[in-house]
Chain A
Amino acid sequence: MRIKNLSTSYFTDDGIVKAVYDVSLDLSAGQTIGIVGESGCGKSTLGKSIMRLIRPPGKITNGEIIFNHQDILKMDEKKIREIRGGDIAMIFQDPMSSLNPVFTIGSQIGETIKLHQKIKNKHELEEKVVAILEKVGISDALRRLSEYPHQFSGGMRQRVMIAMALSCNPKFLIADEPTTSLDVTIQAQILDLIGNLKKEFNSAIMLITHNIAVVAEFCDYVAVMYAGKIIEYSNTHNIFKNPKHPYTRAILGSLPRIDSTLEELTTIPGIVPSLINLPAGCVFNPRCSEKITICSEINPKYVEIEPEHYTSCHLYKEIKE
């Protein structure tokens, strides 16, 4: 999977919201990438753009998403439908409302399998659904098939969503804050589940979250987003031990530490700028503690500053290959 210069904007009455701007990412099978950032910085829009789920007034304005040597953005409707839920699946943020309330769990999971794997035999289909439900840890799966979403708890529904997303063994899984609305114990279970499936099918996973701790534990690579742009990208070790961009440093600095005796939490002053009126120069410059003159004038390029470590900040120089 290779994303190149992807831009997605929402054309609202108040102006053009550049939710994702010039984002490039590479990800290969078996890898997990964490996308982190504050609310409203374009994380979810990035995920939906990959699935081509952007609805008007939103529009993907530029870029390429190469998946299996094909550009997703150039596919026709029929082709993209085959990919959605087949090769690329997505787990949504809110398990409470992401299931169709009028059909049973069994028929909803079965529908996806039927759609992508062309299994007609009812019995075989049911066996498949039971197997996948058991895999995501739903006990008494056979009986639960005929139940409706409202009979499930939040954690169970998220498991059902994951079961649905995994039912066709996707090569690429986008998990959009899969654990945000769940309590901590369930969070751990759900993440374990996603992790196991990565091992089993060697899928690539994109984990969208604000939870830095989850990223540290779970991801191989991290992309930090700010105001629609990726401002730093590297492997997890680099990001946590050797963060470069002042924003990444500020995020990590604002995490409470168990071994510190600070009275107050460290915060980043200011708020994410409106995506309609982005500040001139570097998007982060109004809030940056290490700002230099050039920051408010020229937008820094997104460059490789160390092997496997990219950032867009005037403080660092591109390494020459």
Chain B
Amino acid sequence: MENKKGNAHEKIIEKRVSYYYTVLKRFLKHGPGMFGLIVIMITLLLAIFADDIAPFDPYELNPRNRFQAPDRVHLMGTDNLGCDILSRIIYGARYSMIISISVVIISMTIGVTLGLISGYYGGFVDEIVTRATDAFMAVPSFFIYITALSMWDVRGIWTITLIMGIMMWPTFAKVVRSEVLSLKQRPYVEAGKSMGASDVRLIMRYILPNLFGSITIISSFRMAAAILTETGLNFIGLGDPTICSWGSMITRAHRSGAQLTFWWATLFPGLAITIVTWAFNLFGDGLRDALDIKTVT
């Protein structure tokens, strides 16, 4: 199969780069997006290696050291029970990541499946899914969280994750459905059908892979939303008090009356939440710019 003729005309047209390579290159040049990615990577590293990185045991109580201002030993000070705040933030990264990643996976699975089905088949199924999506989006989610979580006796991290996952699917379903509506009209889907592909194959091979970009972007934004929601639930007392997430740190500091006097107890976890949610939003924005096919070519 050695055929090296390849005339000049063809060489000019040839672009020896794949689509995702182009996207990657564009993303690497996207300043804010890269900043977001780096922050996310650091957070993930902290979450994974928390045991090795954290200078103190985050659960170790030290009543004599309550509310110690930041110094050389406790870089971010201690809280009302004398726990080292820096260590708690590092461990908090672990819980915040576990919760938000699980929430995104659950809601993505539900939302993408429903979005694909309703967008592709249309008709009666579509009607039901669309109504359900609208209903979910119309009701303020916090009321449902409060109702659902108050009914549970055991409020562990997984109960919270599950309910948040179930509550967050409509965004995925809505975006996926609208993209499927336009994707299924594309000539290559019809061409695929004309080659004998079944509905399932058309959805899995011709439509779903083309949704990869949008799903990643929404996931990134939903990660940020999940972190914030978890914090909010914690603050109104619906979190899991036994683990140290960033949300529970703020709640604990607030309840113990830290306020402005012991500013470090609320400021640092607050900063962590702000920076990480911001990073996810920047990352999503960067990804959206890089994946924008119209400007690639």
| A residues adjacent to B (C-beta < 8 A) | 51, 53, 56, 77, 81-86, 89-90, 92-94, 97-103, 111-112, 115-116, 130, 139-142, 148, 150-151, 153, 161, 164-165
Could you mark each residue 189-206 of chain B with 1 if its beta carbon is under 8 Å from any beta carbon of chain A, else 0?
Answer: 011111111100000011
User: How many A-B contacts at CB < 8 Å in the complex?
Assistant: 90
- In the complex, are the beta carbons of A102 and B210 less than 8 A apart? yes
Instruction: Collect the chain B residues with CB atoms within 8 Å of residue A116's CB.
Output: 196
Q: Shortest 10 CB-CB distances between A and B: which pairs?
A: A85-B195, A85-B196, A102-B209, A84-B196, A142-B1, A98-B191, A90-B194, A98-B187, A97-B187, A153-B13
Please report the C-alpha to C-alpha distance between residue A53 and residue B193 in the assembled complex, in whole angstroms: 8
A100 x B3 contact (CB < 8 A) = no
Cβ-defined partner of A94 (8 Å) among B13, B187, B210: B187
Contacts of A103 in B (CB 8 A): 205, 209
Q: Which one of B17, B18, B192 has the highest number of Cβ atoms from chain A below 10 Å of its Cβ?
A: B192
Contacts of A77 in B (CB 8 A): 198
Please provide the chain B residues from 25 to 81 with a CB less than 8 Å away from any CB of chain A in the complex: none
Q: Does B140 contact A (CB under 8 A)?
A: no
Question: Are B196 and A115 in touch, CB under 8 angstroms?
Answer: yes
Assess whether A82 is in contact with B196, with CB atoms less than 8 Å apart: yes
Contact of A86 among B14, B18, B196, B198 (CB under 8 A): B196
Sample (24) of A-B pairs whose CB atoms are under 8 Å apart = A53-B190, A53-B194, A81-B196, A81-B198, A83-B196, A85-B194, A85-B196, A85-B197, A90-B191, A90-B194, A92-B190, A98-B187, A98-B188, A98-B190, A98-B191, A100-B192, A100-B206, A111-B195, A140-B4, A140-B6, A148-B18, A148-B19, A150-B15, A151-B18
User: Roughly how many angstroms separate A83 CA and B4 CA in the complex, as a whole number?
Assistant: 38
Say if the beta carbon of B294 comes within 8 Å of chain A: no
Known: A101-B210, A111-B205, A150-B15. A161 touches B197 (CB 8 A): no
B140 CB → nearest A CB, Å: 36
CB distance from A53 to the nearest CB of B (A): 6
List chain A residues, Cβ under 8 A from B5.
139
